[in-house]
């Protein structure tokens, strides 16, 4: 199948749009008329430019308010069409999209619509062009694909076909029955868009909120599967009207589009796999089918980019937190710290990826390693989804740890679950524990939160859904004293790896300020699971770890919400531990360290049958973080000496 994108989906001038589409490996494009009108070059030059980039111009669009216009305007409308045919000839576009008339004075009599479209088809035929007729969800009379298809059948002209658009069909919750019965040669084109479910005017929804497949909530596979089952093998084209996309750089956005289209093909192929065996193999053959998502076993390690100054400071903080220096890399300036099943790696090796990352972002988490049951499958899947692979320098007899780049340029390593010898055994020399304090009840990594700059949520969502096969939870919107923060967690199948993504809708929130300080997206905090949060907090506080101070008013409110015993409340308040309970009685306790060096936060969590992340406590935590940030810094300097 040809993969295509409409120029309206991307920002920039027409050459910028075409270049972005080609770079993302699309086969073709739909030229949106306005992109041509506003471009200072001839249609012939655009044709040449597309050809040079290896892109087919598959469709010219849209031609509006044609069929059923008041009778005195028909002749002028046909003239108008001829002008567009001239333009298409120069452009080399084989087909034009005619969308159903939305004018208040449009005629609804089907015989008139059929007659008008027949005249148009006859004229197109003389020019060797095709007309594709599409039902707009807000058309005056023709709104459903069934209506458009009935009209196309009645016209019965080889130059007139049907255009199907997932948004128009799914936004109306239109009946999909019969989609697989439309002969494939009568389908001129298939346009794909996803969208979040919104109870709003469908025209506004369509014009501003469409998004790439997988970023919204439509069941696109239920739309595409019958079309493919019916034999359609023509172009699949992304036609996305989205305010954010209009403002986003076109190249990464086009790359997202390609990834989303591949994902839709994967999901559609799974959908078709449920069909009778006789037909399904052939149907699916044309679709993208990567290895299925892997089962991840957990976070293997987190790697911190540091230098000679930040390294010892952070190491000191880790030791306060109960981590022990257990290994030193055989050939690199890399130290391994461990507590329970948590491995933290401090990388200050010059000329390394970590060093480059340090130069860009300062002390930061530059990589996370995930343990996976099927290493090759995980890697293959990510690469087929066009992820950038990464391979670092490896010393003799050291492990090769394959990796891919996340959207912010940080790395995700894949490590085989339970491999023997382990990467720690092959690559690290054991260190005699220097043993100050010892462990502090932290057992494993519960989750890692990533803070994203404005407008990048959908990109990351798509990355984790495709490259890693993760599943997204619901979105929470949480008030910060200076704006709103939107949070949505992703988790691997089986839940062992959990990554909440947080994005700020204001430049003033605690999150946005930390992202700015960080110089981009980044790990915002690391949540460590414990079986005894009271003991963990008490131990760490005794060692001088600074916890976020929670207002007493919060505990008074907790009392009226959950009816906790006074002594429990007092104990939680004394330890600054937050509490939540879900509808099924699952309990959650959490405490946050102050941000070390204005960046690194450890959250300590104790779960009792509770699956979420304490969204109810996020506002008080954000308010406490804002207050903490405006007080004395908890800095590298403090722990250095």
Known binding-site positions: 134, 165, 191, 239, 447, 525, 603
| Among the listed residues 78, 198, 273, 615, the single contact to its own copies using CB under 8 A | 198
Q: 531: which DSSP letter?
A: S
> At closest approach, how far in Å is the CB of 478 from its own copies?
11
| Among the listed residues 147, 222, 289, 506, the single contact to its own copies using CB under 8 A | 506
Long-range contacts of 610-613 (CB under 8 A, 24+ apart): 610/580, 610/581, 610/582, 610/586, 611/495, 611/582, 611/586, 612/473, 612/489, 612/580, 612/582, 612/588, 613/447, 613/487, 613/489, 613/500, 613/527
| Among the listed residues 246, 330, 541, 611, the single contact to its own copies using CB under 8 A | 246
Of the pair 217, 247, the CB lying nearest its own copies is at 247
Of the pair 149, 482, the CB lying nearest its own copies is at 482
> At closest approach, how far in Å is the CB of 5 from its own copies?
17
Rounded-to-integer distance, Cα 405 and Cα 428, Å: 24
Residue ranges in 398-532 assigned as alpha helix (H): 423-427, 457-467, 510-518
| Among the listed residues 156, 175, 243, 637, the single contact to its own copies using CB under 8 A | 243
> At closest approach, how far in Å is the CB of 37 from its own copies?
5
> At closest approach, how far in Å is the CB of 479 from its own copies?
6
Piece of 53-61, 199-207, 303-311, 632-640 that binds its own copies (CB under 8 A)? 199-207
In the chain the first and final C-alpha atoms are separated, in Å, by 63
Piece of 12-20, 222-230, 349-357, 565-573 that binds its own copies (CB under 8 A)? 12-20
Of the pair 84, 381, the CB lying nearest its own copies is at 84
| Among the listed residues 104, 173, 199, 396, the single contact to its own copies using CB under 8 A | 199
Of the pair 222, 506, the CB lying nearest its own copies is at 506
Q: Is 350 an interacting residue with respect to its own copies (CB under 8 A)?
A: no
| Among the listed residues 23, 273, 484, 573, the single contact to its own copies using CB under 8 A | 484
Of the pair 138, 390, the CB lying nearest its own copies is at 138
Piece of 105-113, 114-122, 241-249, 524-532 that binds its own copies (CB under 8 A)? 241-249
Q: 412-471: which residues touch its own copies (CB under 8 A)? A: none
Q: Is 481 an interacting residue with respect to its own copies (CB under 8 A)?
A: yes
Of the pair 484, 535, the CB lying nearest its own copies is at 484
> At closest approach, how far in Å is the CB of 238 from its own copies?
18
Rounded-to-integer distance, Cα 578 and Cα 621, Å: 9
Q: Are 438 and 449 in contact (CB under 8 A)?
A: no
| Among the listed residues 44, 71, 126, 507, the single contact to its own copies using CB under 8 A | 507
Q: Which strands sit side by side in the sheet containing 578-581, from one edge to the other?
A: 471-480, 483-491, 498-504, 442-452, 522-530, 602-608, 587-592, 578-581
E strands in 241-361: 296-305, 324-329, 334-339, 342-347
> What x-and-dash track marks residues 537-576 binding its own copies by CB under 8 A?
------------x-xxxx-xx-xxx-x-------------
Rounded-to-integer distance, Cα 634 and Cα 621, Å: 17
Of the pair 468, 485, the CB lying nearest its own copies is at 485
> At closest approach, how far in Å is the CB of 355 from its own copies?
31
| Among the listed residues 172, 472, 517, 627, the single contact to its own copies using CB under 8 A | 627
In this structure, the strands spanning 587-592 and 602-608 are antiparallel
Q: Which residue has the tokens 């948590």?
A: 342
Structure tokens at 24: 């993302």
Rounded-to-integer distance, Cα 2 and Cα 8, Å: 18
Of the pair 40, 567, the CB lying nearest its own copies is at 40
Q: 593: which DSSP letter?
A: B
Q: Is 83 an interacting residue with respect to its own copies (CB under 8 A)?
A: yes
| Among the listed residues 105, 156, 204, 571, the single contact to its own copies using CB under 8 A | 204
Q: Is 53 an interacting residue with respect to its own copies (CB under 8 A)?
A: no
Piece of 53-61, 145-153, 313-321, 500-508 that binds its own copies (CB under 8 A)? 500-508
Q: Is 79 an interacting residue with respect to its own copies (CB under 8 A)?
A: yes
DSSP string, 221-233: HHHHHHHHHTT--
Longest dimension (CA), the chain: 93
- Angle 595-598-601 from CA coordinates, rounded to 5°: 30
Tell me the site size for its own copies, rule CB under 8 A: 56
Burial of residue 409, with CB atoms counted within 10 A of its CB: 0-12 exposed, 13-18 middle, 19 or more buried: middle
SS3 213: coil
> At closest approach, how far in Å is the CB of 10 from its own copies?
10
Piece of 107-115, 127-135, 377-385, 473-481 that binds its own copies (CB under 8 A)? 473-481
> At closest approach, how far in Å is the CB of 535 from its own copies?
26
Residue ranges in 440-486 assigned as alpha helix (H): 457-467
What dihedral do alpha carbons 388, 524, 596, 404 form, nearest 10°?
-10
Q: Which residues touch 126 (CB under 8 Å, ≥6 apart)?
A: none
Give the bridge partners for 130, in sequence order.
95
> At closest approach, how far in Å is the CB of 13 from its own copies?
6
Q: Are 35 and 265 in contact (CB under 8 A)?
A: no
- How many helices (H) and strands (E) would you count in the chain? 23, 25
Q: Is 494 an interacting residue with respect to its own copies (CB under 8 A)?
A: no
Piece of 94-102, 340-348, 372-380, 501-509 that binds its own copies (CB under 8 A)? 501-509
Q: Are 590 and 578 in contact (CB under 8 A)?
A: yes
> At closest approach, how far in Å is the CB of 185 from its own copies?
30
Of the pair 16, 473, the CB lying nearest its own copies is at 16
Q: Is 11 an interacting residue with respect to its own copies (CB under 8 A)?
A: yes
- Tell me the chain's radius of gyration from C-alpha atoms: 29
Which residues fall in the annotated binding site for a divalent metal cation? 134, 165, 191, 239
Of the pair 176, 573, the CB lying nearest its own copies is at 573
Q: What's 135-164 look like in SS3?
A: CCCCCCCCCCHHHHHHHHHHHCCCCEEEEE
| Among the listed residues 37, 277, 400, 429, the single contact to its own copies using CB under 8 A | 37
- Name the site residues for its own copies (rule: CB under 8 A): 11-13, 16, 33-34, 36-43, 76, 79-80, 83-84, 87, 198-201, 204, 243, 246-247, 479-484, 505-509, 549, 551-554, 556-557, 559-561, 563, 619-620, 623-624, 626-627
């Amino acid at each position: 199948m040809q993969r295509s994108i409409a120029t309206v989906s991307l920002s920039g001038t027409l050459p910028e749009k075409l270049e972005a589409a080609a770079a993302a490996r699309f086969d073709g494009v739909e030229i949106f008329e306005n992109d041509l009108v506003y471009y200072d070059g001839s249609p012939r030059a655009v044709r040449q430019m597309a050809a040079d980039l290896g892109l087919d111009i598959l469709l010219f669009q849209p031609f509006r308010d044609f069929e059923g216009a008041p009778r005195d305007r028909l002749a002028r409308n046909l003239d108008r069409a001829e002008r567009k045919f001239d333009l298409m000839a120069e452009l080399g576009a084989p087909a034009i999209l005619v969308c159903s008339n939305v004018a208040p004075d449009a005629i609804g009599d089907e015989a008139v619509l059929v007659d008008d479209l027949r005249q148009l088809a006859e004229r197109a035929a003389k020019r060797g062009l095709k007309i594709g007729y599409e039902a707009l969800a807000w058309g005056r009379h023709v709104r459903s694909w069934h209506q458009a298809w009935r009209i196309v059948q009645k016209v019965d002209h080889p130059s007139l076909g049907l255009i199907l658009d997932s948004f128009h069909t799914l936004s109306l919750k239109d009946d999909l029955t019969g989609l697989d019965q439309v002969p494939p040669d009568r389908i001129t084109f298939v346009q794909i868009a996803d969208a979040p479910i919104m109870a709003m005017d469908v025209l506004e929804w369509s014009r501003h909120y469409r998004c790439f497949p997988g970023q919204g909530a439509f069941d696109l596979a239920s739309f595409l599967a019958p079309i493919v089952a019916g034999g359609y093998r023509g172009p699949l084209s992304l036609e996305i009207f989205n305010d954010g996309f209009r403002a986003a750089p076109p190249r990464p956005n086009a790359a997202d589009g390609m990834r989303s289209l591949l994902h839709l093909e994967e999901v559609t192929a799974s959908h078709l796999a449920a069909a009778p065996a006789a037909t399904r193999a052939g149907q699916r053959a044309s679709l993208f089918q990567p290895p299925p998502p892997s089962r991840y076993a957990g976070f293997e390690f987190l790697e911190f980019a540091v230098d000679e100054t930040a390294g010892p400071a952070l190491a000191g903080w880790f030791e306060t937190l109960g981590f022990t220096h257990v290994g030193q890399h055989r050939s690199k300036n890399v130290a391994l710290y461990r507590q329970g099943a948590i491995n933290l790696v401090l990388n200050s090796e010059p000329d390394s990826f970590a060093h480059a990352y340090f130069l860009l972002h300062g002390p930061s988490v530059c990589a996370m390693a995930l343990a996976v049951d099927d290493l090759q499958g995980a890697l293959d899947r990510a690469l087929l989804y066009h992820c950038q692979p990464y391979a670092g320098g490896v010393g003799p007899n050291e492990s090769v740890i394959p990796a891919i780049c996340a959207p912010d340029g940080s790395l995700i390593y894949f490590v085989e679950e339970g491999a023997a010898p382990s990467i720690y055994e092959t690559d690290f020399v054991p260190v005699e524990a220097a043993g100050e304090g010892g462990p502090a009840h932290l057992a494993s990594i519960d989750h890692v939160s990533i803070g994203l700059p404005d407008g990048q949520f959908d990109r990351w969502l798509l990355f984790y859904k495709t490259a890693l096969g993760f599943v997204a939870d619901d979105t929470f919107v949480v008030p910060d004293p200076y704006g709103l923060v939107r949070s949505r967690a992703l988790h691997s199948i089986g839940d062992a790896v959990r990554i909440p993504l947080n994005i700020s809708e204001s430049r003033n929130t605690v999150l946005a300020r930390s992202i700015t300080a960080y110089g981009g997206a980044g790990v915002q905090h690391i949540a460590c699971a414990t079986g005894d949060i009271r003991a963990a907090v008490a131990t760490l506080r005794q060692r001088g770890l600074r916890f976020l101070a929670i207002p007493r008013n919060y505990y008074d409110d907790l009392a009226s919400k959950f009816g906790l015993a006074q002594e429990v409340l007092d104990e939680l308040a004394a330890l600054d531990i937050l509490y939540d309970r879900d509808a099924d009685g699952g309990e959650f306790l959490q405490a946050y360290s102050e941000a070390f060096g204005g960046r690194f936060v450890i959250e300590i969590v104790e779960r009792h049958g509770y699956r979420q992340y304490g969204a109810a406590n996020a506002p008080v935590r954000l308010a406490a973080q804002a207050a903490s940030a405006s007080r004395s810094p908890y800095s590298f300097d403090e722990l250095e000496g």
